[in-house]
């Protein structure tokens, strides 16, 4: 077994000068070579990969090649087009616990000082239901640009329904992570402020996540999921954590809208305790718990507590549901989430 102390140190860096990156690489390669690594992945690994703009899932797919550390750094640069030095400085500050550069501190202070985007009523709704809708999270122009990016990536035509029905390995998920329009949405001040209000801090990191494309059901084409599920360990208590989905087009409830069980963060412990000893929580009829589709307009962001059962649903509308997944998290989070 390899202990954490025998992995690369968090401050070991390569040509990019990014702390924690070599530590993640050394742990992942060791595990791929059949060595048992004590402790598994660390929350700082997730932070670094998202902050660099590569994301966790594309990185783990790339590691199937078992790259050298030098090749890994070159892949990051090629994938992202290069990482701003200011972002690297902020990453290193988070990893080492040293102060951020002054411009980063000023930016975070400006987020703190900005006008609230979630009202007191919104926050009360969040506390009760475990989800909230931020209206007009991005502009109509940004919605159209990100929507167009999805159409182009998929090679489909908005006015040709026959082109929508192409089998994809990832179901309704679209493996589009790096795109200027997606990145612009991740930098939305309104989105940042909403998450800052929920977390109680502006010092947050945005996820580098993918898009989604859920087409209307028709004969021969059934909804592939994901059905209601959790992306987190159900060991109690489930720590606070947020997830988010941004509607890029108008999405009424029947159009495959995001679906969750409102308020379940308050009763999941009691529900788990009532299950028979041999019952698997994830295999229960979660819709019977009171699921609800949450529709919205283009530009609306739905944020939900990670303790809620959530998923998509069959699209019984006329148009595809088109979304971008966006969430934010602080530097230090409890390492319970089951990352993709």
Domain shared by 81 and 167, yes or no: no
In a domain, 13, yes or no: yes
Domain shared by 28 and 126, yes or no: no
Give yes or no for a contact between 275 and 284, defined as CB atoms under 8 angstroms apart: yes
Q: Kind and range of the H or E element at 23?
A: helix 21-32
pLDDT (0 to 100) of residue 166: 86
Q: What is the pLDDT of residues 169-190, one digit of tens each?
A: 789 999 999 999 999 999 999 9
- For 54, which DSSP code? S
Task: Give the mean model confidence (pLDDT) for residues 244-259.
Answer: 98
pLDDT (0 to 100) of residue 284: 97
Least confident of 30-44, 210-224, 276-290: 30-44
Domain shared by 132 and 74, yes or no: no
pLDDT (0 to 100) of residue 336: 41
Rounded CA-CA distance 222/238 in Å is 33
Q: What is the pLDDT of residues 74-127, one digit of tens each?
A: 999 999 999 999 999 999 999 999 999 999 999 999 999 999 999 999 999 999
Q: What is the pLDDT of residues 127-146, one digit of tens each?
A: 999 999 999 999 999 999 99
Give yes or no for a contact between 241 and 305, defined as CB atoms under 8 angstroms apart: yes
Domain shared by 76 and 216, yes or no: no
Rounded CA-CA distance 130/232 in Å is 15
In a domain, 173, yes or no: yes
Q: Is the pLDDT of residue 167 over 90?
A: no
In a domain, 335, yes or no: no
Q: Which domain holds residue 168?
A: 113-330
Provide CB contacts within 8 A for 10, sequence distance 6+: 19, 20, 23, 44, 95, 96
How many domains is the chain built from? 2
Provide CB contacts within 8 A for 97, sequence distance 6+: none
pLDDT (0 to 100) of residue 161: 96
Q: What is the pLDDT of residues 20-49, one digit of tens each?
A: 999 999 999 998 888 877 766 788 999 999
Domain shared by 80 and 123, yes or no: no
In a domain, 285, yes or no: yes
CATH of the domain at 184: 2.60.120.620
Rounded CA-CA distance 97/105 in Å is 14
Domain shared by 129 and 49, yes or no: no
Among the candidates 53, 71, 96, a domain finishes at: 96
Kindly indicate the confidence band of residue 168, based on its pLDDT and cuts at 50, 70 and 90: confident
Percent of the chain with pLDDT over 70: 96
pLDDT (0 to 100) of residue 169: 76
In a domain, 133, yes or no: yes
In a domain, 302, yes or no: yes
In a domain, 340, yes or no: no
Domain shared by 233 and 314, yes or no: yes
Domain shared by 154 and 295, yes or no: yes
Domain shared by 91 and 148, yes or no: no
Among the candidates 96, 124, 158, a domain finishes at: 96
Domain shared by 50 and 199, yes or no: no
The model's pTM is 0.94
Q: Is the pLDDT of residue 1 over 90?
A: no
Domain shared by 31 and 118, yes or no: no
Domain shared by 265 and 117, yes or no: yes
Among the candidates 96, 127, 147, a domain finishes at: 96
pLDDT (0 to 100) of residue 320: 97
In a domain, 102, yes or no: no
> How many residues make up the chain in this entry?
340
């Amino acid at each position: 077994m390899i202990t954490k102390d025998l992995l690369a140190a968090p401050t070991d860096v390569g040509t990019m000068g990014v702390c924690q990156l070599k530590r993640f690489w050394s742990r992942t390669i060791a595990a791929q070579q059949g060595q048992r690594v004590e402790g598994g992945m660390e929350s700082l690994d997730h932070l670094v990969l998202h902050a660099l703009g590569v994301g966790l899932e594309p990185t783990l797919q790339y590691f199937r090649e078992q790259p050298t550390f030098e090749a890994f750094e070159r892949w990051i640069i090629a994938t992202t087009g290069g990482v701003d030095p200011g972002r690297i400085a902020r990453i290193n500050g988070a990893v080492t616990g040293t102060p951020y550069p002054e411009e980063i501190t000023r930016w975070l202070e400006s987020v703190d000082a900005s006008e609230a985007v979630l009202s007191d009523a919104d926050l009360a709704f969040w506390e009760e239901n475990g989800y909230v809708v931020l209206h007009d999270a991005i502009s109509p122009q940004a919605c159209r640009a990100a929507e167009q990016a999805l159409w182009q990536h998929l090679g489909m035509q908005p006015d040709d329904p026959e082109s929508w029905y192409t089998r994809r390995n990832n179901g309704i998920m679209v493996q589009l992570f790096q795109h200027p329009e997606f990145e612009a949405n991740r930098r939305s001040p309104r989105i940042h402020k909403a998450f800052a209000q929920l977390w109680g801090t502006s010092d947050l990191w945005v996820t580098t996540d993918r898009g989604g494309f859920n087409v209307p059901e028709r004969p021969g084409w059934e909804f592939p999921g994901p059905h209601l599920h959790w992306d987190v360990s159900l060991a109690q208590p489930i720590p606070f954590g947020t997830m988010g989905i941004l509607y890029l087009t108008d999405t009424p409830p029947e159009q495959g809208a995001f679906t969750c069980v409102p308020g379940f963060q308050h009763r999941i412990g009691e529900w788990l305790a009532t299950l028979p000893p041999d019952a698997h929580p994830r295999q229960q009829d979660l819709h019977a718990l009171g699921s609800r589709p949450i529709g919205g307009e283009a530009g609306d962001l739905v944020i939900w507590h990670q303790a809620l059962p959530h998923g998509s649903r069959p699209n019984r509308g006329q148009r595809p549901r088109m979304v971008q997944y966006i969430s934010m998290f602080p530097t230090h989070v409890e390492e319970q989430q089951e990352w993709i």
